[in-house]
Amino acid sequence: MSLAISVVIPAYNEGEAIIAVLDRIFDAVESECEILVVVDFEEDTTVPVLRAYAEREPRLHILVSSYGRGPANAIRYGIDQVKNPVVVVTMADGSDDPRQIDELARLVDRGVVVAAASRYCPGGQQVGGPLVKSMLSKAAGRSLGTFGRVGTRDATNSFKAFSTEFVREVGIDSRSGFEIGLELTAKARRLRRPVAEVPTIWLDRTLGVSNFQLAGWIPRYLRWYRFAFGPQLTKEQVARAAKAIAEQNTKPAKGKQRW
């Protein structure tokens, strides 16, 4: 029986730029798959492009999140809709290599709960992108991999495959930013569940504008980073700790919630 994969893509006003990303994914993935593109509102510029694309590609599904704005809510909403045993989260900007979706999913099928595409392990590379963001991400990833023994040297990368059962078991507590990949990696580590990685080459987007808000999201990442270190916990202990982190991360901040 072939492996069935659900691919979740959060999107925000990507417009026609999403076409090339979808083309590459459908061309690359050999497993049985569905793609769920999640937007925040019907008026998103990605929606009419997706509707036209879906007329010729039934595996594409357009979802409008009811969980609130922002990428974390979009990812959370998309994962809650999937029915396949493996879910892969990838970005709408074309930075991730879709040829690795099958490889990541097979690792989950073999028993890991989180399979990470790693820019910072041997054979991996990051091409382009803001220097400060890259340096912080690399330092966090490598230190977590070496000292936290989380199973990957790129815990902050959003391009990951997850066991759907595992995600439903531990839940997603992040409500903003792109820290879900780090959150689930940290939870897997504290529960001592297996995590694995494959090298990837990440390319900075060539169309559109990045929606990553470095200053606003760093404190949220740091809380999940710290949580990854420590002794094994029970599911109940992880749930309590994650709830506390989520409460800190969702305290009112200046400005509106944006991508």
> pLDDT tens across 4-13, in order?
999 999 999 9
pLDDT digits (tens, 9 = 90+) for 145-182: 999 999 999 999 999 999 999 999 999 999 888 899 99
Q: Residue 205: pLDDT band by 50, 70, 90 thresholds?
A: low
Task: Kindly state which CATH superfamily the domain 4-249 is placed in.
Answer: Spore Coat Polysaccharide Biosynthesis Protein SpsA; Chain A (3.90.550.10)
SS3 193: coil
Does the pLDDT of residue 85 top 70, yes or no? yes
Q: Does position 258 have pLDDT exceeding 60, yes or no?
A: no
Cα atoms found within 13 Å of the Cα of residue 89, Cβ hemisphere only: 31
In this predicted structure, the answer to whether residue 215 has a pLDDT above a threshold of 60 is: no
CB 149 within 8 A of CB 231: no
Residue 194 has pLDDT above 50, yes or no: yes
Strands (E), the chain: 4-10, 32-39, 60-64, 86-89, 114-118, 125-127, 160-163, 195-199, 201-203
* pLDDT of the residue at 174: 93
* Nearest residue to 155 via CA among 201, 221, 99, 105: 221
Rounded CA separation 152/145 (Å): 5
Which tokens belong to 167? 């995600």
Q: Report the C-alpha gap between 204 and 75 in whole angstroms.
A: 20
The mean per-residue pLDDT over the stretch 205-230 comes to 74
Please give the Cα distance from 103 to 153 (Å, whole number): 17
Closest CA to 154 of 104, 80, 93: 104
